[in-house]
């Protein structure tokens, strides 16, 4: 474990209390004299750390900057977040992960960027990623299920993001099928899953997620989008949210492979789509029907007026008034 991660982990576990210098030296396996140097490095990065001649050190505040050490210090995950990288700027974090996937990177690596120059959403749309205002990140997955069940990834991710937003902010985060997480009817997060499959096997799935955390109104697309700042009225700790999101994604992703029915039930409780009369557009095709259920592959089952059931994967959905 990196030194920064180990010190921050000790501080987070102490939850604002002092950690003795001897304790930190033991954790770092260094002489006590070295601890002061490591603390100075963190202070130079913007961490507000108080030192006391008898009690040791305590963390009073963290900078509003994502670092791998900080996120890693706050999580214990099995797959997603095994390795975390943070870039100041990328074209799209999905592109970075795609490149890593081709270089045989291991499942679970996550790339965050403070800003993206070519962030993209579904259906070729652009994704606005203002610097330092959100969580713009992608994870490399290599699931065991077949490409036909790839929609499970987006279902699992939407449940994970909604859970994490609710846990950290108390907001009633909901899911609009197929890939939006909403608060008070407006989009707060989007999910873009891209797939590489060969011979009916998934070689790599790139799970890209954008969460509008501390965006001001003028930094968001008008009318349809919101941010956690706007909904709670206060700025959110992005590193803490990132850690919570990765922990929930890890849990949901593992469940998607072992007990997808469990996730379907949770998705149904969080869904704003289920039970509604919908207009669904897939390219030039436009159909209407009643959103009845998700199937075991993560497809939406739409009951048309003639009773026929349509399986819908990755479409644009409008809820009929």
CB nearer to ligand BTN: pick between 5 and 154: 154
**Cβ neighbours of residue 201 under 8 Å, at least 6 residues apart?**
146, 147
Counting residues that bind ligand BTN (by CB under 6 A) gives 20
* 179 forms part of the interface with ligand BTN (CB under 6 A): yes
Q: Least Å distance between CB 279 and ligand BTN?
A: 18
* 138 forms part of the interface with ligand BTN (CB under 6 A): yes
Reading phi first (left if > 0) and then psi (alpha if -120 to 50, else beta), residue 91 is in alpha
Q: Least Å distance between CB 92 and ligand BTN?
A: 3
Displacement of CA 93 from its chain's centroid (Å): 12
Nearest residue relative to ligand BTN (C-beta): 190
Reading phi first (left if > 0) and then psi (alpha if -120 to 50, else beta), residue 199 is in left
* 160 forms part of the interface with ligand BTN (CB under 6 A): no
CB nearer to ligand BTN: pick between 23 and 83: 83
Contacting range for ligand BTN; rule: CB under 6 A; set: 20-28, 115-123, 265-273, 291-299: 115-123
Residue whose structure tokens are 């790839």: 150
Candidate list 116, 154, 255, 273; residue touching ligand BTN; CB under 6 A: 116
**Cβ neighbours of residue 313 under 8 Å, at least 6 residues apart?**
151, 178, 297, 298, 299, 300
In the chain, the N- to C-terminal Cα span, in Å, equals 53
* 192 forms part of the interface with ligand BTN (CB under 6 A): yes
Candidate list 67, 92, 182, 193; residue touching ligand BTN; CB under 6 A: 92
- Which residues, in sequence order, are bridge partners of residue 61? 48
* Residues at the contact surface with ligand BTN, assessed by CB under 6 A: 92-94, 116, 119-122, 125, 127, 136-138, 179, 190-192, 208-210
């Amino acid at each position: 474990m990196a030194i920064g991660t180990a010190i921050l982990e000790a501080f987070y576990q102490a939850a604002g209390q002092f950690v003795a210098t001897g304790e930190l030296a033991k954790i770092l396996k260094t002489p006590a004299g070295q601890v002061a140097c490591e603390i100075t490095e963190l202070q130079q990065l913007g961490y507000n750390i108080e030192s006391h001649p008898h009690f040791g050190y305590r963390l009073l505040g963290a900078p509003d900057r994502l670092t791998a050490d900080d996120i890693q210090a706050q999580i214990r995950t099995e797959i997603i977040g095994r390795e975390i990288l943070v870039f100041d700027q990328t074209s799209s974090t999905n592109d970075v992960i795609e490149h890593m996937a081709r270089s045989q990177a291991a499942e679970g690596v996550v790339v965050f960027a403070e800003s993206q120059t070519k962030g993209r959403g579904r259906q070729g749309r652009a994704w606005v990623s203002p610097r330092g205002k959100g969580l713009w990140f992608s994870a490399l997955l290599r699931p065991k299920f077949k490409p036909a069940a790839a929609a499970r990834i987006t279902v699992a991710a939407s449940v994970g993001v909604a859970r994490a937003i609710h846990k950290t902010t108390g907001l009633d985060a909901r899911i609009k099928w197929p890939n939006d997480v909403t608060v008070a009817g407006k989009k707060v997060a989007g999910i873009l899953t891209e797939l590489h499959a060969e011979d009916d096997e998934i070689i790599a799935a790139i799970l890209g997620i954008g969460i509008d955390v501390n965006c001001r109104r003028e930094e968001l697309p008008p009318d349809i989008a919101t941010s956690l700042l706007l909904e709670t009225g206060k700025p959110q700790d992005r590193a803490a949210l990132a850690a919570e999101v990765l922990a929930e994604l890890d849990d949901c992703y593992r469940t998607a492979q072992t007990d997808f029915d469990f996730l379907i039930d949770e998705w149904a409780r969080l869904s704003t789509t289920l039970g509604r009369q919908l207009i669904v557009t897939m390219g030039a095709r436009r159909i209407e029907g009643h959103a009845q259920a998700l199937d075991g592959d993560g497809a939406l089952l739409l009951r048309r007026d003639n009773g026929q059931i349509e399986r819908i994967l990755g479409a644009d959905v409008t809820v009929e008034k």
